[in-house]
Amino acid sequence: MISDLRGRDLISDLDFTKEEVETVLEVAWDLKKKRALGERHALLQDKTLSMLFFFSSTRTRASFESGMAQLGGHAAFMESRTTQISHGDTEKELGEILGRYFDGIAIRHVDWGIGNKYLNNVASASRVPVLNMQCEIYHPHQCLADIMTIIEKKGRDLKGKKIVVSWAYASSYLKPISVPQSLILQMPRFGLDVTLAHPPEFKLIPEIMEQAQEQADKYGGKFEVVHDMEEGFKDADIVYVKSWGPLLTTQDPDEGKKIQDKYKDWITDSKKMALANKDAIYMHPLPADRDVEVTSEVMDGPQSVVFDQAENRMHAQKAVMALTMR
């Protein structure tokens, strides 16, 4: 267990070593237990977190805000469009200034080619940790909740178990690619064999694919890509299916939608779930396009763990905040 993560940023999934991620998980379970027992755990009393959003959120905002209050601190909700950021505050100014007001700065910025750079620029100017609430490349706090949930459901020995990270059709909007990218980076470190399934136009960033392969090689797991949803589901222990935009193919929303509309049959239904192992779990970070990405039968069915997964966002983030913002 690593005892000192004070002052550390969490922007990429690989910013924390595997041992450091294990530390986060141990603390998260401890805090989850304390909350279940009603034990006070005001580890961040008098501390404050700035939560800066350039894009909408339900779970991320609510879980960071509630988590910070449970730790005895306060989280301030800020939006780019209702602050002077829209009139020219720069990353350097924000890093310097928010870093003097707050003990941590959490940012969501998913604009293609902009968000991740923005977070890193703020971090360079900030004296306090910068936490990634999702950029266009990574969603590390989601992924921490995901591995926490997988261990709770499948045990600590995940060696040889298969997770399929699959694309799904959605009609609402072109969703970021950060969740599948975080998953393929983090899951191999825990011994899982990772199958990435997507139509050809929905590729992920080549450098992230290389890093995912490196993690799989390092930890002795398999990493493969298939272009067939059914093939991906076969013999899976964990079925993690969500939509993302064809952003490596086109960033034009109309063209992207046309491409996306070719694959309406990429929906998770009970027939596809039957291809996975009998005790497979179904995961989704939410929000999902119900009965488009996934049938309500699967989403509300016995294999679905989506609400436990959403709950774990709060416990995992409390652990990161308690460890980095002390």
Which parts of this chain interact with ligand CP (CB under 6 A)?
Answer: 57-60, 134, 142, 285-287
Residue nearest to ligand CP (CB): 60
Q: Is the dihedral of CA 153, 18, 139, 227 positive or negative?
A: negative
Q: How far is the CB of 290 from ligand CP (least distance, A)?
A: 15
Separation CA 215–CA 199 (nearest Å): 24
- Min dist. Cβ of residue 134 to ligand CP (A): 6
Closer by beta carbon to ligand CP, 56 or else 86: 56
Nearer Cβ to ligand CP (166/201): 166
Smallest separation, CB 31 to ligand CP (Å) = 20
CA–CA–CA angle 326, 307, 221 (5° rounding): 75
Q: Residue 121, Cβ neighbours under 10 Å: how many?
A: 16
Rounded to an integer, what distance in angstroms lies between the CA atom of residue 324 and that of residue 31? 15
Nearer to ligand CP, 21 or 179 (CB): 179
Q: How far is the CB of 183 from ligand CP (least distance, A)?
A: 12
* Tokens encoding 42: 């005001």
Counting every residue written for the chain, the total comes to: 326
Least distance (Å) between residue 37 CB and ligand CP: 27
| Residue closer to ligand CP, measured from CB, 57 or 277 | 57
Nearer to ligand CP, 236 or 314 (CB): 314
Cβ of residue 142: shortest distance to ligand CP, in angstroms? 5
Judged by CB, which is closer to ligand CP: 56, or 270? 56
Q: How far is the CB of 323 from ligand CP (least distance, A)?
A: 21
Q: How far is CA 44 from the centre of its chain?
A: 23
Question: Rg (Cα) of the chain, in Å, rounded?
Answer: 19
DSSP 145-177: HHHHHHHHHH-S--TT-EEEEEE---SS----S
- Complex with ligand CP: residue 129 or 285, whichever CB lies closer: 285
Q: How far apart are CA 244 and CA 172, in angstroms?
A: 11
Buried b or exposed e, range 80-95, using 16+ CB within 10 angstroms: beeeebeeeeebeebb
- 20: enclosing H helix or E strand: helix 18-37
Q: How far is the CB of 23 from ligand CP (least distance, A)?
A: 23
CB count in 10 Å sphere of residue 145: 26
Cis peptide before 176 (omega within 30 of 0): no
Nearer to ligand CP, 132 or 211 (CB): 132
CB within 8 Å of 252: residues ≥ 6 apart: none
